[in-house]
Structure 1
Amino acid sequence: MIITKDDREIELMTEAGRIVALVHEKLKEVIVPGITTNEIDQICDKIIREHGATPSFLHLYGFPNSVCTSINEVVVHGIPSNRKLKDGDIISVDVGACYKGYHGDSAWTYAVGNVSNETKRLMNVCESALFAGLEQVKPGVRLSDISHAIEEYLTKNGCTTPRDYTGHGIGTNVHEDPAVPNYGAPGRGPRLKKGMCLAIEPMAHLGAKETVTLDDGWTVITKDHSLAAHYEHTIVITDDGYRILTKL
């Protein structure tokens, strides 16, 4: 069942989203060659807690850390470690914050130092695919119209998207109905309504769409080891469109 949120709930989700956005603002400063993903995890955890929230992902389904740190061919769910980032890497950091029982969720991909033009293109295409999907959002639109717009944009720009990982509803749980795939035909699924809160999150591969989960049970990589990017915002559907909750 898809649950719409009332004004009080949206107010709490707005604050959760603001905290997530503050974390990403800090990440723009600290992601440089030499930093470890454990250090990134600790920085994110500290900011979330300083603003009266808790990390949404810590122990969620057994995940061991506060944020996901996915480097290069890692698509999602990378576990922070003592690995140091190198010039030319990219890293997707997926951040969730729970404020008074309500969640905000946003992932962003960052360049580490100087990256190749091909890498920049992947990042630009994935970020633009997010906004191509968001352009569809308003009351009355079918859910799969978002999915179709994302896939269409990725495909025409030479990228693929995995089939096993999707966006989702969000509220008192990080993951709520409905699932929001990044592919599919338009005109399907429930109609969007004012007060629905969704996390829209395209993932893009430079190579094939297939993925493999490593032996740690979490880290998902591209099967062909091609680069992957991941961009996500939490939104609320308004009278005539949407509002992004995870930006300042």
Structure 2
Amino acid sequence: MFRRSIYKSPAQLRSMVEPGLITAAALDEVRTLVRPGITTGELDAAASRVITGRGAESNFQLVRGYRHTTCISVNDQVVHGIPGERVLQPGDIVSIDCGAQYQGWNGDSAITIVVPDAAQPELVARREELSRVTEGSMWAGIAAMATATHIGQLGDAIQTYIEAQGPSSVSGDAYGILREYVGHGIGRKMHEAPSVFNYRTPDAGAEIRPGLVLAIEPMVTAGGEATFVEDDDWTVTTVDGSDGSHWEHSIARHEAGIWVLTAADGGAAGLAPFGVVPVPIP
């Protein structure tokens, strides 16, 4: 049986730059709109306008049975939340996952935002810390991709970063890492081989070498790791009701280094604390 290589040519890597930037632009637009009183459906519509306005299409809508441009998950919903009539409230923690397909190539990225709430500073602080830890673990995994030889090292870097944060300094709770939902390869399809685990495994995984493009996406909770899928058959929610956070970027490894396709600066700001300088795809 024919299997497509998980490694892209230099020309194919260059073709993935624009869909990554379009994805980033959609999330940048949504970020500016998050506030109390706005609905998740309105945020979804804003992302759609950016993607179609740049001549691309939502790759989420290419997933069978899904008709939205984004997944928007609130509070104890970790991933795959369906946008609609839900109104954001002060203090909500909101994860927004988005992707674009342009000329047959894909980008995929996610961010987490805490809605401001001056009346609940402790709640906001706890949720902002969860988001910060999740985002930091993502960047730890991305930074590892610059020197790692196998994908398993990325999961180790992500878990090590989370463990180094210890229990939440605000709530005292330990952080949980979702086990059933992981990162993936990306290219002609939004979800390709190989899987990218956000935790240590005994399997070294596929070799990391030039041409590999991965979507690294830790999903972290402020409590237990157990989740269930709600009655809509999509939304993944924590069993214990703890908050969730989801961050994601698509990253290319090439001959000269790594480049974060879904960041306008190639990942420079996020990688700086790890001493890694991204290199544009030649």
Shared fold per TM-score greater than 0.5: yes
Given the alignment, which residue of 136, 139, 142 partners 1:131? 139
Moved over 6 A (4+): none
Q: Do 1:74 and 1:227's aligned partners in 2 also have CA atoms closer than 8 Å?
A: yes
Deviation at 1:239, TM superposition (A): 2.5
Q: Do 1:33 and 1:87's aligned partners in 2 also have CA atoms closer than 8 Å?
A: yes
Given the alignment, which residue of 156, 160, 175 partners 2:164? 156
Q: After superposition, what is the alpha-carbon deviation per residue over 1:196-223, rounded to whole angstroms, capped at 9, x for unaligned?
A: 1100000110001111111111000011
Deviation at 1:185, TM superposition (A): 3.6
Q: Do 1:168 and 1:200's aligned partners in 2 also have CA atoms closer than 8 Å?
A: yes
Alignment correspondent of 2:186: 170
> Percent of pairs identical after alignment?
37
Pairing 1:77–2:80 present = yes
Q: Do 1:138 and 1:238's aligned partners in 2 also have CA atoms closer than 8 Å?
A: no
Alignment correspondent of 1:17: 20
Alignment correspondent of 1:40: 43
Residues 140 and 92 of structure 1: CA distance in aligned 2, closer, same or farther (over 3 Å)? closer
- Matched residue SS, 1:19: helix
Residues 25 and 140 of structure 1: CA distance in aligned 2, closer, same or farther (over 3 Å)? closer
Deviation at 1:187, TM superposition (A): 7.0
Deviation at 1:240, TM superposition (A): 4.7
Higher gyration radius (CA)? 2
Alignment correspondent of 1:198: 214
Given the alignment, which residue of 116, 119, 126 partners 1:118? 126
Alignment correspondent of 2:109: 106
Cα separation, 1, equivalents of 2:148 and 2:125: 39
Q: After superposition, what is the alpha-carbon deviation per residue over 1:46-105, rounded to whole angstroms, capped at 9, x for unaligned?
A: 100000100010140311311100011111100011111011001111010000010000
Q: Do 1:139 and 1:191's aligned partners in 2 also have CA atoms closer than 8 Å?
A: no
- Matched residue SS, 1:62: coil
Cα separation, 2, equivalents of 1:138 and 1:187: 20
Deviation at 1:241, TM superposition (A): 3.2
Cα separation, 1, equivalents of 2:41 and 2:71: 10
Q: After superposition, what is the alpha-carbon deviation per residue over 1:151-187, rounded to whole angstroms, capped at 9, x for unaligned?
A: 1222332311111100000000110000001011477
Cα separation, 1, equivalents of 2:34 and 2:215: 24
Deviation at 1:7, TM superposition (A): 2.5
Query: How many residue pairs were aligned?
Result: 248
Cα separation, 2, equivalents of 1:174 and 1:32: 29
The gaps in structure 1 that reach 5 residues or longer are none
Q: Do 1:148 and 1:186's aligned partners in 2 also have CA atoms closer than 8 Å?
A: no
Taking only aligned residues, the RMSD between alpha carbons, in angstroms, comes to 1.5
Q: Do 1:161 and 1:203's aligned partners in 2 also have CA atoms closer than 8 Å?
A: yes
Alignment correspondent of 2:278: none
Specify the code of the residue in structure 2 equivalent to 1:54: E
- Matched residue SS, 2:145: coil
